[in-house]
Chains A and B, each alone.
Chain A
Amino acid sequence: MAMSRDGRPTIPRNSSVAGMPAPTFTGHRGLQLEEPLIFEQGQPGRSGVDLPDPPKVEHRMGTSVRTRPIELPGLAEPQVVRHFVRLSQKNYSIDANLYPLGSCTMKHNPRLNEKMARLPGFGDIHPLQPITTVQGALALIDEVAHWLKTLSGMPAVAMSPGAGAHGELCGLMAIRAAHVARGDARRRVLVPDSAHGTNPATAALCNYEVDGVPANKRGRIDLAALKAKLGGDVAAIMLTNPNTCGLFEDQILEVADAIHGVGGFFYCDGANFNALVGRVRPGDLGIDTMHINLHKTFSTPHGGGGPGAGPVVFSAPLAPFAPLPYVVHGPDGFALKEHDGGQAFGRLKAFHGQMGMFVRALAYMRSHGADGLRQVAEDAVLAANYILAGMRGVIDPTYPGPCMHEVMFDDSSFKSSGVTTLDIAKALIDEGFHPMTIYFPLIVHGAMLIEPTETESKESLDLFIGALRALITRAKARDSAGFQAAPRFAPVRRLDETRAARQPVLRWSPPQPKQAAE
Chain B
Amino acid sequence: MRYLPLTDVDRSAMLGDIGAPSIEDLFRDVPVAARRARLFDLPLHAGELEVERHLSALAARNIAAGSVPSFLGAGAYRHHVPAAVDHLIQRSEFLTSYTPYQPEISQGTLQYLFEFQTQVATITGMDVANASMYDGSTACAEAVLMAGRVTKRRRIVLSGGLHPHYRDVVKTMTGSAGFTVDVAAADVFGEEDLAASIDKTTACVVVQYPSFFGHVRDYATLSAQCRDNGALLIVAVTEIVSLGALKPPGDMGADIVVAEGQSLGNGLNFGGPYLGLFTACTQYVRQMPGRLCGETVDADGKRGYVLTLSTREQHIRREKATSNICTNSGLCALAFCIHLTLLGGDGFGKLAAINHANAVMLADRLSGVKGVSVINRTFFNEFTVRLRSPAAPIVETLAARRILAGVPISRVYPERADLADLLLVAATEVTTTADMEALVGGLKEGV
Contact = CB atoms under 8 A, between A and B. Distances in A.
A493 interface: yes
Interface string A59-78: 11111111111111111010
B46 A132 contact: no
Nearest to A504: B294
Interface stretch (A222-230, A350-358, A412-420, A473-481): A350-358
Nearest to A118: B86
Interface in B50-86: 50-52, 54-67, 70, 72, 74-76, 78, 82, 84, 86
A204 B55 contact: no
Given A51-B354, A382-B15, A124 B306 contact: no
Contacts of B86: 118
B217 A64 contact: yes
Contact of B129 (A136, A210, A354, A507): A507
A507 B173 contact: no
Interface string B279-299: 000000100000111111111
Interface in B242-286: 243-248, 251, 260, 267-274, 285
A64 B246 contact: yes
A120 B66 contact: yes
Contacts of B310: 501
A51 B34 CA distance: 61
B108 A351 contact: no
Interface in A124-163: 124-130, 132-137, 139-140, 143, 147, 150-151, 162-163
A304 B94 contact: yes
Contact of A121 (B26, B59, B363, B411): B59
Given A135-B62, A382-B14, A499 B216 contact: no
Nearest to A461: B14
B336 interface: no
B216 A70 contact: no
Interface in A65-114: 65-75, 77, 80-81, 83-85, 87-96, 99, 101, 104, 106, 108-110, 112, 114
Interface stretch (A259-267, A312-320, A450-458): A450-458
A270 interface: no
B430 to A, nearest CB: 11
Nearest to B242: A61
Contacts of B200: none
Contacts of A437: 101
Contact of B64 (A42, A104, A125): A125
A4 B306 CA distance: 15
B326 interface: yes
B233 to A, nearest CB: 15
A116 B48 CA distance: 11
A320 B243 CA distance: 41
A67 B248 CA distance: 10
Given A81-B84, A169-B324, A494-B298, A429 B105 contact: yes
Contact of B42 (A38, A137, A147): A147
Nearest to A501: B308
Contacts of A460: 5
Contact of B270 (A63, A134, A200): A134
A90 B134 contact: no
Nearest to A249: B29
B131 A305 contact: yes
Contacts of A54: 350, 353-354, 356-357
A445 interface: no
Contacts of B44: 369-372
A304 B330 contact: yes
Contacts of B41: 150, 370
Interface in A37-62: 37-39, 42, 44, 46-49, 51-62
B270 A352 contact: yes
Interface stretch (B115-123, B191-199, B224-232, B438-446): B115-123
Contacts of A109: 95-96
A375 B4 contact: yes
Interface residues of B, number: 214
B168 A494 contact: no
Interface in B295-353: 295-302, 304-306, 308-311, 313-321, 323-332, 334, 338, 340-351, 353
A383 to B, nearest CB: 8
A201 B319 contact: yes
Contacts of B15: 382
Given A77-B342, A112-B48, A426-B104, A12 B172 contact: no
> Max chain A CB contacts within 10 Å: which of B245, B270, B297, B346?
B270
A33 to B, nearest CB: 11
Contacts of B404: 126, 129-130, 133
A496 B114 CA distance: 16
Nearest to A161: B134
B359 to A, nearest CB: 8
Interface string B406-430: 0100010011000000000000010
A123 interface: yes
A56 B354 CA distance: 9
Nearest to B70: A126
A446 interface: no
Contacts of A434: 102, 105
A302 B99 contact: yes
Contact of A508 (B54, B118, B332, B343): B118
Contacts of B46: 366-367, 369
A467 interface: no
B327 A165 contact: yes
A368 B321 CA distance: 38
A483 to B, nearest CB: 13
A329 interface: no
A347 B170 CA distance: 9
B39 interface: yes
Nearest to A110: B3
Contacts of B104: 426, 429, 487, 490-495
A39 B409 CA distance: 42
B168 A200 contact: no
B186 interface: no
B344 A367 contact: no
Given A63-B218, A92-B105, A197-B317, A389 B17 contact: yes
The 8 A-B residue pairs with the shortest CB-CB distance, nearest first, are A351-B271, A121-B59, A346-B172, A136-B61, A303-B331, A127-B271, A48-B342, A307-B273
26 contacts: A12-B298, A54-B350, A62-B377, A72-B341, A93-B96, A122-B62, A126-B76, A128-B411, A136-B61, A143-B58, A162-B273, A166-B325, A197-B315, A253-B34, A280-B30, A303-B94, A305-B99, A346-B171, A367-B48, A382-B14, A429-B102, A458-B5, A492-B302, A495-B305, A495-B306, A504-B292
Given A355-B271, A429-B102, 16 more contacts: A4-B316, A53-B350, A61-B380, A83-B341, A166-B134, A197-B321, A204-B319, A302-B98, A306-B132, A307-B272, A363-B55, A376-B4, A495-B306, A496-B298, A506-B117, A506-B295
